[in-house]
Chains A and B, each alone.
Chain A
Amino acid sequence: MIDDAVLALLQKVAEGTATQAESASLHEILRRNEEARSAFDDLQVVMRTLGSVREASVPPTLKPAVMRALGTRPLPSRVTRLRGSILTLLPLPLHPVKLRQTIQSAWCTLISKPIPTSTNRAEAIMKGNKRIVIGGAVVALCAVVYFSFFYPPTSPDETQGAIGAAKKYRSEQITDKDVQLAAENNAAGTTGTGVVDEQAAADLQKNATELSKTIKVINATVTLDKTMRATYNNAAAALEATAKFLADKPWSGHRGVTWDNRAMADMAAQASTLDKAIKSALEKTKSIDRTAALKDMAKTAASLEKNARQFEKTSRSTLEMRESVDR
Chain B
Amino acid sequence: MMEGEDEAVVRRCLKGEVGAFGELVEKYQKPVYNLALRLVRNEAEAEDVAQTAFIKAYENLSSFKPGSRFFSWLYKIAANEAMNAIRRLRRFEPLSNGNGAAADEGGLEATERLDEEARILDALMDLTMDHRAVIVLKHLQELSYEEVGQVLDISTKKVKSRLFSARQELRTALRKRGVSEQ
For B55, the chain A residues whose CB sits under 8 A away are 66, 69-70, 73, 288
Chain A contacts of B14 at CB under 8 A? Answer: 75-77
Main SS of chain B's interface residues?
A: helix
Which among A54, A59, A291 has the greatest number of chain B C-beta atoms within 10 A?
Answer: A59
Contacts of B22 in A (CB 8 A): 63, 67
Given A56-B37, A77-B62, A287-B48, does the pair A66, B16 have CB atoms closer than 8 Å? no
Cα of A114 to Cα of B16 in the assembled complex, Å: 43
A111 within 8 A of B: no
Q: Within 8 Å CB of B78, what residues of A?
A: none
* Of A44-52, A173-181, A317-325, the one with at least 4 CB within 8 A of chain B: A44-52
Q: Is the CB of B26 within 8 A of A50?
A: no
Given contacts A56-B37, A67-B22, A288-B55, contact A42 B171 (CB under 8 A): yes
- By a CB distance below 8 angstroms, the chain B residues around A11 are 160, 163-164
B51 to A55, Cβ gap below 8 A? Answer: no
A62: Cβ under 8 A from any B Cβ: yes
CA A75 – CA B62 in complex, angstroms? Answer: 10
Is the interface on chain A under 10, 10 to 19, 20 to 34, or 35 or more residues? 35 or more
Q: Is B167 an interface residue (CB 8 A)?
A: yes
Let me know if B34 and A55 touch, CB within 8 A: yes
Task: Using CB atoms, name the residue of chain A closest to B182.
Answer: A48
- B96 at interface, CB cutoff 8 A: no
Q: Which residues of A contact B54 (CB under 8 A)?
A: 66
Interface residues of B in 32-74 (CB under 8 A from A): 33-34, 37-38, 43-44, 47-48, 50-52, 54-55, 58-62
Q: CA of A54 to CA of B140 in the docked complex: distance in angstroms?
A: 9
Residue numbers of B with Cβ under 8 A of A are 13-16, 18-19, 21-22, 25-26, 29-30, 33-34, 37-38, 43-44, 47-48, 50-52, 54-55, 58-62, 84-85, 88, 91-92, 116-117, 120-121, 135, 139-140, 160-161, 163-164, 167-168, 170-171, 174, 179, 181-182
